[in-house]
Amino acid sequence: MKKKKWWLVPLIGILILLGIGGKLVIDKQKETEKLQEEMVKIVKSEEAKKAIERSLIILDRNAFSSEGIIQTYEVDYTSIRKNPMGGIMLTIHINGKKELDYHPILMKYDNCDVKVDSSSYSPILDRLLQKGEEGEKNVH
Protein backbone atom coordinates (compact mmCIF):
# COMPACT_ATOMS: atom_id res chain seq x y z
CA MET A 1 0.00 0.00 0.00
CA LYS A 2 2.84 2.40 0.80
CA LYS A 3 4.45 1.79 -2.61
CA LYS A 4 1.28 2.85 -4.43
CA LYS A 5 1.19 6.16 -2.58
CA TRP A 6 4.88 6.81 -3.28
CA TRP A 7 4.59 6.91 -7.09
CA LEU A 8 1.41 9.00 -6.91
CA VAL A 9 3.25 12.05 -5.52
CA PRO A 10 5.67 12.45 -8.50
CA LEU A 11 2.83 11.73 -10.92
CA ILE A 12 0.69 14.51 -9.41
CA GLY A 13 3.72 16.84 -9.49
CA ILE A 14 4.34 16.08 -13.17
CA LEU A 15 0.66 16.64 -14.01
CA ILE A 16 0.70 20.00 -12.21
CA LEU A 17 3.86 21.05 -14.09
CA LEU A 18 2.32 19.99 -17.40
CA GLY A 19 -0.82 21.99 -16.61
CA ILE A 20 1.18 25.11 -15.74
CA GLY A 21 3.38 24.69 -18.84
CA GLY A 22 0.34 24.25 -21.06
CA LYS A 23 -1.27 27.40 -19.68
CA LEU A 24 1.93 29.39 -20.27
CA VAL A 25 2.13 28.17 -23.88
CA ILE A 26 -1.52 29.03 -24.55
CA ASP A 27 -1.12 32.49 -22.96
CA LYS A 28 1.99 33.18 -25.07
CA GLN A 29 0.12 32.10 -28.23
CA LYS A 30 -2.79 34.43 -27.42
CA GLU A 31 -0.37 37.30 -26.75
CA THR A 32 1.35 36.68 -30.11
CA GLU A 33 -1.99 36.61 -31.94
CA LYS A 34 -3.07 39.85 -30.25
CA LEU A 35 0.21 41.55 -31.21
CA GLN A 36 -0.19 40.35 -34.82
CA GLU A 37 -3.75 41.75 -34.95
CA GLU A 38 -2.54 45.10 -33.60
CA MET A 39 0.26 45.26 -36.18
CA VAL A 40 -2.15 44.48 -39.03
CA LYS A 41 -4.51 47.18 -37.74
CA ILE A 42 -1.66 49.72 -37.76
CA VAL A 43 -0.54 48.71 -41.27
CA LYS A 44 -4.13 49.05 -42.55
CA SER A 45 -4.53 52.49 -40.96
CA GLU A 46 -4.80 55.69 -42.98
CA GLU A 47 -1.65 57.04 -41.28
CA ALA A 48 0.36 54.01 -42.43
CA LYS A 49 -1.00 54.33 -45.96
CA LYS A 50 0.11 57.97 -46.10
CA ALA A 51 3.54 57.11 -44.67
CA ILE A 52 4.05 54.32 -47.21
CA GLU A 53 2.98 56.53 -50.10
CA ARG A 54 5.28 59.35 -48.93
CA SER A 55 8.21 56.94 -48.79
CA LEU A 56 7.42 55.60 -52.27
CA ILE A 57 7.35 59.16 -53.61
CA ILE A 58 10.79 59.70 -52.07
CA LEU A 59 12.01 56.65 -54.02
CA ASP A 60 10.30 57.72 -57.24
CA ARG A 61 9.28 61.36 -57.30
CA ASN A 62 6.92 60.59 -60.19
CA ALA A 63 5.29 57.70 -58.33
CA PHE A 64 1.58 57.19 -59.02
CA SER A 65 1.77 59.32 -62.18
CA SER A 66 2.09 58.22 -65.80
CA GLU A 67 5.81 59.16 -65.80
CA GLY A 68 6.65 57.16 -62.67
CA ILE A 69 8.10 53.69 -62.32
CA ILE A 70 5.87 53.05 -59.29
CA GLN A 71 2.25 53.01 -60.41
CA THR A 72 0.57 50.87 -57.76
CA TYR A 73 1.47 48.97 -54.62
CA GLU A 74 -0.02 46.12 -52.65
CA VAL A 75 0.74 45.23 -49.05
CA ASP A 76 1.43 41.55 -48.37
CA TYR A 77 -0.40 41.22 -45.05
CA THR A 78 1.05 37.75 -44.46
CA SER A 79 4.54 39.29 -44.32
CA ILE A 80 3.85 41.57 -41.33
CA ARG A 81 6.34 40.89 -38.52
CA LYS A 82 7.61 42.65 -35.41
CA ASN A 83 11.11 44.04 -35.89
CA PRO A 84 13.38 43.01 -33.00
CA MET A 85 14.75 46.58 -32.90
CA GLY A 86 11.23 48.06 -32.83
CA GLY A 87 8.66 48.75 -35.48
CA ILE A 88 6.72 46.67 -37.96
CA MET A 89 8.38 44.98 -40.94
CA LEU A 90 6.33 44.23 -44.03
CA THR A 91 6.61 43.53 -47.73
CA ILE A 92 4.99 45.63 -50.42
CA HIS A 93 4.72 44.49 -54.04
CA ILE A 94 5.09 47.26 -56.59
CA ASN A 95 2.95 47.28 -59.75
CA GLY A 96 1.53 43.87 -58.84
CA LYS A 97 4.91 42.15 -59.35
CA LYS A 98 6.42 40.11 -56.53
CA GLU A 99 9.95 40.63 -57.86
CA LEU A 100 9.50 44.39 -57.38
CA ASP A 101 9.32 44.32 -53.62
CA TYR A 102 9.75 47.10 -51.10
CA HIS A 103 10.40 46.43 -47.40
CA PRO A 104 9.61 49.38 -45.12
CA ILE A 105 9.80 49.35 -41.34
CA LEU A 106 6.88 51.28 -39.89
CA MET A 107 7.19 53.00 -36.52
CA LYS A 108 4.18 54.16 -34.51
CA TYR A 109 5.06 57.00 -32.20
CA ASP A 110 3.32 58.15 -29.00
CA ASN A 111 1.73 61.10 -30.79
CA CYS A 112 -0.04 58.53 -33.04
CA ASP A 113 2.14 59.31 -36.05
CA VAL A 114 3.10 56.35 -38.22
CA LYS A 115 6.31 56.81 -40.20
CA VAL A 116 8.57 54.72 -42.37
CA ASP A 117 11.74 54.52 -40.29
CA SER A 118 13.90 52.68 -42.81
CA SER A 119 13.40 50.55 -45.88
CA SER A 120 15.02 48.35 -48.47
CA TYR A 121 13.95 47.15 -51.88
CA SER A 122 14.77 44.51 -54.44
CA PRO A 123 17.73 44.88 -56.82
CA ILE A 124 15.32 44.76 -59.78
CA LEU A 125 13.33 47.70 -58.42
CA ASP A 126 16.61 49.52 -57.75
CA ARG A 127 17.69 49.10 -61.40
CA LEU A 128 14.31 50.33 -62.65
CA LEU A 129 14.46 53.38 -60.40
CA GLN A 130 18.03 54.16 -61.51
CA LYS A 131 17.04 53.87 -65.18
CA GLY A 132 14.13 56.22 -64.52
CA GLU A 133 16.48 58.80 -62.99
CA GLU A 134 18.89 58.50 -65.91
CA GLY A 135 16.03 59.00 -68.35
CA GLU A 136 15.01 62.18 -66.52
CA LYS A 137 18.58 63.51 -66.63
CA ASN A 138 18.76 62.91 -70.39
CA VAL A 139 15.48 64.77 -70.97
CA HIS A 140 16.60 67.87 -69.06
**Residue 7 belongs to some domain of the structure:** no
* Strand ranges inside 5-111, DSSP E: 73-82, 88-94, 97-108
**Residue 104 belongs to some domain of the structure:** yes
What is the DSSP pairing of strand 97-108 with strand 73-82?
A: unpaired
- C-alpha distance from residue 133 to each of 33, 45, 47 (Å): 42, 31, 28
Q: How far apart are CA 41 and CA 57, in angstroms?
A: 23
**Residue 79 belongs to some domain of the structure:** yes
Which CATH number is 115's domain given? 3.10.450
The whole-number average pLDDT for the span 31-47 is 94
pLDDT tens for residues 64-95? 999 999 999 999 999 999 999 999 999 999 99
Q: How many domains does the chain have?
A: 1
Output the pLDDT for position 139: 43
**Residue 49 belongs to some domain of the structure:** yes
pTM of the model: 0.77
Average pLDDT of the residues of the chain: 89
**Residue 111 belongs to some domain of the structure:** yes
Is 128 a residue whose pLDDT tops 80?
A: yes
**Residue 20 belongs to some domain of the structure:** no
> How buried is residue 108: exposed, middle or buried, by Cβ count under 10 Å (0-12/13-18/19+)?
buried
In what side-by-side order are the strands of the sheet with 88-94?
73-82, 88-94, 97-108, 114-121
Neighbours of 63 (CB within 10 A): 21
Specify the DSSP element, H or E, that contains 24. Answer: helix 2-43
Domain that holds residue 74: 36-139
Output the pLDDT for position 8: 82
The whole-number average pLDDT for the span 56-70 is 94
Q: How confident is the model at residue 137 (pLDDT cuts 50, 70, 90)?
A: very low
**Residue 30 belongs to some domain of the structure:** no
Is 101 a residue whose pLDDT tops 90?
A: yes
What count of residues does the chain have?
140
**Residue 114 belongs to some domain of the structure:** yes
